[in-house]
Amino acid sequence: MSQQRKLIGNSASMLLNRLTQGIATFVLSAAIARTLGAYALGQYLLAISYYYIFVSITSQGFKTLFTREIARDPDATPVYLVSGTLLQLLVSLVGYAAMVVIIYLLPYSRDTSILCCVIGFTAIPFALSNITESIFQAREQMHSIALATVPVYILRLIVMLWMMQARHQIIDVGIILVISETLILAIEWLMLVKIVPPQWQIDRDFMWNIIKTAKTLFATEGLGMIAAKIDVLILSLLGSEVLIGLYGSVMQLLQPYTIVSNSLNLAAFPRMSKAVDLGRDIQRQEAENTIITLLCIGLPFSIGTIFYGKDLLLLIYQNRDFSQAAVILNLMCISMTIATFSQTFGYVLIANGLEKFNLIEVAITTTVGGLSGIFFITKYQLMGAVFMSLIMATTNFSVLGAAVHQRIFPLRILRILRLPLLISGLMAIVFLLLQTMQLNFLLTLSLAVCAYAILVAAVMVHELGGIDRVRQSIVNLRS
C-alpha cells in the first residue's frame, strides 16, 4: 500500500505542477488575445514554439535518460547532479546560439525575431532545472518539483497580467519568463543539495558516455518537438502571425488535457521502468490504466466541444474573430484523442530500452507532417494546419502502436474503451438535455462539470465493487 500511496502522491504532485503551468499558460494566452490582439498572440506562440523545440533538442534527452538511470542506480546521483549539469549548460549554450542564427535567417519581422530570441533564452535555465527535476522524479519525490514551481508560476502570471494591463508590450512578457525560470532553477538547486551532497568533481568520461548514450533520446525528443510544432512553423512561413494566433487559440484550449496527460505519464514512467523486470503483464496493466484514465477525461471533453465549442471560444477570448475556430476545435479533439495512446506508447518503449522506435516514429511523422503541411497549408491555410495535425497524429499512433504490439505486448482494446465510452455516452445525454434547456453558458458549463464528476464517481465506485469496498480501500491506504 505504501507504493500505491507514493504513486498517488507523485501523480498528484506532477498533476498540480503541470496543471498550474497549463492554466497559467492558458490564462496568459487568453489575456494576450484580449489585450494585445491576435497578432501579438501569434508572435508569442511562435516564440514559445521555438523555445520548446530548442529546449527539447538540448535537454529532454538528458532528462529522460537521467530519470531512467538514476531510478536504477540511485548511488550515482551526485555525479549526475554536477557533471550532468555542466554538460547540460554547454549543450544549452550551443543550442541557443544555433537558434538565434536560424531565427534571423528566416523572414520574420524584427519585433517577432527579437521576441523569439528573448523567450528562447529561457531554454537555458529551463534545461538546467530539467536535471534537478529528473533527480527528484527518479527518487519519486515529485512533490519537491511542485513546491519549487507552482508558487513561481502563480506569481509570474500575476506579474504578466499586471504588465499587460499597464500597457506593456509582449517583449516584457518574455523577459519575465526568463527571470521566473531562473528563479525556479535556483530554488530547486537549494532544495536538492540538502538531500544530495554534490560531488564537486568534473567526470569527463561520464559526460562523454552520457552523450553517446543519450544520442538516440536527443534525436527522438528533438524531432518529436519539431513534429509537435511544425504546424506553427509552417503557418509562420506560409501564413502570418494572425493565423498562428487563431490556430493557437484552439491549441490553448487543449492545453489542460495535454498537461494532465504529460503528468500522468511522467508519474508512471519510473514504475514502468522498474516493471521491465517484473513481466510484461504488469507493464501492460500500467499502460492500459494510464490510457483509460486519460480517455475518461478527453472523450467527454471532445463531445462537449461538438455542442458548445463556439460558446467556449467566445467565453475565453471575448472576441468574435476567434469563434470561427469552433470547427477547428472539434477536429483537433480527434488528434488529441489519438495522441493519448501514442504518448503512453512512447514511454513504454523508452522504459524497455527501445527508444530507437521513438526515433523512427518522429522521423517518419516529421517527414509526413512537413510534406502534408506544405501542401495543405498552402492550399487551405488555417484548415490545412488541422488536416496536417490529423495526418501526423495517425502516423504517430500507427508507428508506435505497431512497435509496442510486436515487441512488448498487445493492448486489450475492449478493456481500454469500455469505461471511457460509457462515461462519454452518458455525458452526451447530459449535453443534449442541457441544450434543450437553453441556459446561460456559464450555468450550462457548471452543470456539465458537476454531472461529469457525479458520473465518474458513480462509475468508478461500481467498477471497484461498490461503496463498501471503496471505503475499505481508503482505510487500507491510510493504514
- pLDDT value of residue 1: 41
Cell of 288: 492500459
Q: For residue 213, what are the CA distances in angstroms to 64, 89, 343, 365?
A: 11, 18, 22, 23
- pLDDT value of residue 354: 81
In this structure, what DSSP letter does residue 196 have?
S
How many CA atoms lie within 13 Å of 232's alpha carbon, on the beta-carbon side?
28
Residues sharing a CB contact under 8 Å with residue 140, sequence separation 6 or more, in sequence order: 6, 10, 270
Alpha-carbon radius of gyration of the chain: 22
Task: Give the dihedral of Cα atoms 90, 96, 102, 105; nearest 10 deg.
Answer: -120
d(CA 348, CA 15): 20
In this structure, what DSSP letter does residue 239 have?
S
The overall longest dimension of the chain from CA atoms, in Å, is 69
Residue type, 419: L
d(CA 158, CA 160): 6
CB 340 within 8 A of CB 294: yes
- pLDDT value of residue 479: 52
Which secondary-structure segment (H or E) carries 382?
A: helix 382-407
- pLDDT value of residue 183: 94
- Residue 437: phi and psi, rounded to 5, are -80, -20
- pLDDT value of residue 7: 58
Which has the closest alpha carbon to 392: 216, 225, 220?
225
Q: What is the pLDDT along the chain (479 residues), one digit of tens a residue?
A: 455 565 566 666 666 777 787 788 888 888 888 888 778 888 998 999 899 888 888 877 777 777 777 777 777 778 878 888 888 888 889 989 999 999 999 888 899 999 999 999 998 998 888 888 888 877 777 778 888 888 999 999 999 999 888 877 889 999 999 999 999 999 988 888 887 777 777 777 777 877 777 777 667 777 777 777 888 888 888 877 888 888 888 887 887 787 778 777 777 777 777 777 777 788 888 888 888 888 988 899 999 888 888 888 888 887 777 777 788 888 888 888 888 888 888 888 888 878 788 878 888 988 888 898 889 888 888 888 889 989 999 998 999 989 988 888 888 888 889 889 998 999 999 999 998 888 888 898 899 989 888 888 887 766 655 555 546 555 554 55
Which has the closest alpha carbon to 423: 381, 384, 369, 463?
463
d(CA 55, CA 122): 9
d(CA 409, CA 415): 14
- Residue 374: phi and psi, rounded to 5, are -60, -40
Cell of 442: 456559464
Domains of the chain by residue range: 2-478
Percentages of the chain per state (helix, strand, coil), in multiples of 5: 90, 0, 10
Q: Is the dihedral of CA 218, 221, 226, 232 positive or negative?
A: negative
d(CA 47, CA 28): 14
d(CA 186, CA 36): 32
Residues sharing a CB contact under 8 Å with residue 80, sequence separation 6 or more, in sequence order: 66, 69, 70, 131, 134, 135
Q: For residue 258, what are the CA distances in angstroms to 16, 134, 263, 264?
A: 13, 20, 9, 10
CB 191 within 8 A of CB 147: yes
CB 247 within 8 A of CB 328: yes
Q: What angle do CA 61, 65, 69 make, to 5 degrees?
A: 170
CB 122 within 8 A of CB 178: yes
